[in-house]
Amino acid sequence: MTDFLSKYGYAPDQEAMNRALEMIATGLEGMASEQVYKECFSMMDLTTLKTDDTPASVTKLVNKVNSFKESYPEWPLPASLCVYPNFASVVRDARKCDVNITVVSACFPSSQSFLEVKLRECELAVEQGADEVDIVLALNAFLAGDYETAAEEIRQVRKCIDAVAARQGRQVHLKVILETGLLRTSENIANASFLAMEAGADFIKTSTGKVDVNATPASAYVMCECIARYHETTGKKIGFKPAGGISSAADALCYYSIVSTLLGKEWLNKDLFRFGVSRVANSLLSAVEQKTVSFF
C-alpha cells in the first residue's frame, strides 16, 4: 500500500486547520460582493439527481438555462448541467447555450458493481454527449487498504473515456468523488486525494450528496492542501469540486474563500473550481438582486 503522505511530505495539522478555518469564517462578510457571487455562479455544476427525474423534467431544467440570459443578461451561465448518464443525450439535444454536460457515472453513488459495468456506463455517457464524467472512488477497495485496485479502476475509466472522446475529436474531463464523509479522517481524505490525482483525475470532488455527511469546510481544506502539494511536486493543476449540502450563497462563499486562501486566484475559474449544486443558484441570484429569486 502506497504511503502517499510520506511520498508527498504531507501531514494534516488539525490545530492549524481549525485556526485557518476560523479566520476564513470571520472574513466571509468582507469577501461578499456581486463580483464574487457571479464568479461562484459561473463555476456551478447545476445538478438534478433525483430518483424521479424524467426526460421531460431534465429538458425543463435545460430550457431554464437556455433562457437564463434573457432574464439576467448581466450574469454568466453556469459551467455545466449535471445529470444521470442516461440523460446525457437529453441535455445534448435540448442545449442551446454554452454549458457543458456533466454526468455522474460508474454506478453512482455507491460504486458497487463490476468494473466492466462501470466502464460501459461511462463509455455510453460519453458517446451520448457527456463532456465531464464524475465517478466515485471505489471505497470497497480503498477502505480495505487495497489502494492499487482503487487506483486501477480510476485509470481504467480514464482510458475508457479518453478513447471515446478521441474518436469524437474532443476531450472529456474526469472528476473523482472521494465521499469524504465516509473516509472520516483527514489522513484517509489526504491519501484518497493523492491516489485519485495520481490515477488520472482532472478534479477531486468531496461527496455524492447521497450520504449523511457530505461537503464540509474541513474536508475541503485537506483536499485543497493536497492539491497544492501535488502541484508543487508535479507541476500539474488539479481542480476541486465541493458538492453535497451546499445550499446557500454563504456556503458557496466559504468554499470560494478556502480555494482562494490555499490555491490562489489561479484556481478561481471553472477550469479548476466547481460547485456541485441543486439549490444554491437561486440563493446567489437573490444575494445580488436583493430579492427572493426562484428561477431554477
Question: Could you report the per-residue pLDDT of 157-167, keeping only the tens digit for each?
Answer: 999 999 999 99
- Residue pLDDT, tens place only, 167-180: 999 999 999 999 99
pLDDT class for 2, splitting at 50, 70, 90? confident
Write out the E strands in 48-157: 80-83, 100-104, 132-136
* Residues spanned by the domain of 144: 4-289
Q: Is residue 294 part of a domain?
A: no
Q: What angle do CA 137, 226, 239 make, to 5 degrees?
A: 70
Q: Is residue 295 part of a domain?
A: no
Q: Is residue 270 part of a domain?
A: yes
Region of 250 (left: φ > 0; alpha: ψ -120 to 50; beta: rest) is alpha
| CATH code, domain carrying 17 | 3.20.20.70
Q: Report residue 128 as a C-alpha cell.
A: 451520448
Distance CA 90, CA 159 (A): 25
Distance CA 277, CA 13 (A): 29
Q: Is residue 296 part of a domain?
A: no
Question: Which residue shows C-alpha cell 486547520?
Answer: 17
Least confident of 20-34, 51-65, 140-154, 226-240: 20-34
What residues are labeled active site?
134, 205, 241
Is pLDDT above 80 for 1?
no
Q: Report residue 147 as a C-alpha cell.
A: 489502494
| pLDDT of amino acid 30 | 87
Distance CA 29, CA 257 (A): 11
Mean pLDDT of 223-238: 98
- Residue pLDDT, tens place only, 44-95: 999 999 999 999 999 999 999 999 999 999 999 999 999 999 999 999 999 9
Residue 134, SS3 per DSSP: strand
| pLDDT of amino acid 278 | 87
Nearest to 78 by CA among 91, 87, 61, 65: 65
Give the percent of the chain with pLDDT over 90.
95
| pLDDT of amino acid 155 | 98
Go through the chain and tell me how many residues it has.
Answer: 296
| pLDDT of amino acid 181 | 96
Is pLDDT above 80 for 128?
yes
Distance CA 255, CA 138 (A): 25
Q: Is residue 11 part of a domain?
A: yes
DSSP letter at 266 equals G
Dihedral of alpha carbons 127, 129, 132, 138, sign? negative
Q: Count other Cβ atoms within 10 Å, centred on residue 51.
A: 5
Distance CA 176, CA 25 (A): 27
How many structural domains are present in the chain? Answer: 1
Question: Which residue shows C-alpha cell 503522505?
Answer: 5
- Residue pLDDT, tens place only, 231-288: 999 999 999 999 999 999 999 999 999 999 999 999 999 999 999 998 899 999 999 9
